[in-house]
Amino acid sequence: MSEGEAKERDYQIGSASFRARPLEPALYVVATPIGNLGDMTIRGIETLAAADVIACEDTRVSRVLLDRYGISRRPYAYHEHNADVAGPKLIEALLAGKSVALISDAGTPLVSDPGGRLVPEAKAAGIRVVPIPGASSVLAALTASGLFKDAFYFAGFLSSKRGQRRAKLEQLKSLDAALVFFESPNRASATLTDMVEMFGPERRASLCRELTKTYETIVTLPLRELAVEFDGEDRIRGEVVLVIAPPPEDEHVPRTDDDIDALLHALSLEMSPAKAAGEASRMTGRPKGELYQRLLAMK
Q: Tell me: the pLDDT tens digits for 165-211?
A: 998 998 899 899 999 999 999 999 999 999 999 999 999 999 999 99
pLDDT at 259: 74
pLDDT at 142: 96
- What are the structural domain ranges in the chain? 3-132, 137-251, 257-298
Q: Which residue has the higher pLDDT, 220 or 265?
A: 220
Mean pLDDT of 42-65: 96
Q: Given pLDDT bands bounded at 50, 70 and 90, which one contains residue 235?
A: low
Q: Given pLDDT bands bounded at 50, 70 and 90, which one contains residue 6?
A: low
Mean pLDDT of 123-130: 97
* CA–CA separation, 157 and 176 (whole Å): 20
The residues, ordered by sequence, that sit 6+ positions from 63 with a Cβ below 8 Å of its Cβ are 75
The tens digit of pLDDT for each residue in 129-138 reads: 999 999 999 9
Q: Given pLDDT bands bounded at 50, 70 and 90, which one contains residue 7?
A: low
pLDDT at 20: 95
- Asked if pLDDT for residue 158 goes beyond 90, the answer is yes
- Asked if pLDDT for residue 213 goes beyond 80, the answer is yes
pTM, two decimal places: 0.78
Q: Find the range with the poorest average confidence among 40-44, 159-163, 164-168, 280-284.
A: 280-284
* CA–CA separation, 119 and 91 (whole Å): 10
What superfamily would CATH give domain 3-132? Tetrapyrrole methylase, N-terminal domain (3.40.1010.10)
Q: Which residue has the higher pLDDT, 32 or 110?
A: 32
Q: Which CATH code, of 3.40.50.720, 3.20.20.80, 3.30.950.10, 3.90.1570.30, is assigned to 137-251?
A: 3.30.950.10
Angle at alpha carbon of residue 250, lines to 244 and 253, rounded to 5°:
80
Q: What is the mean pLDDT of the chain?
A: 90
pLDDT at 233: 60
Mean pLDDT of 235-250: 86
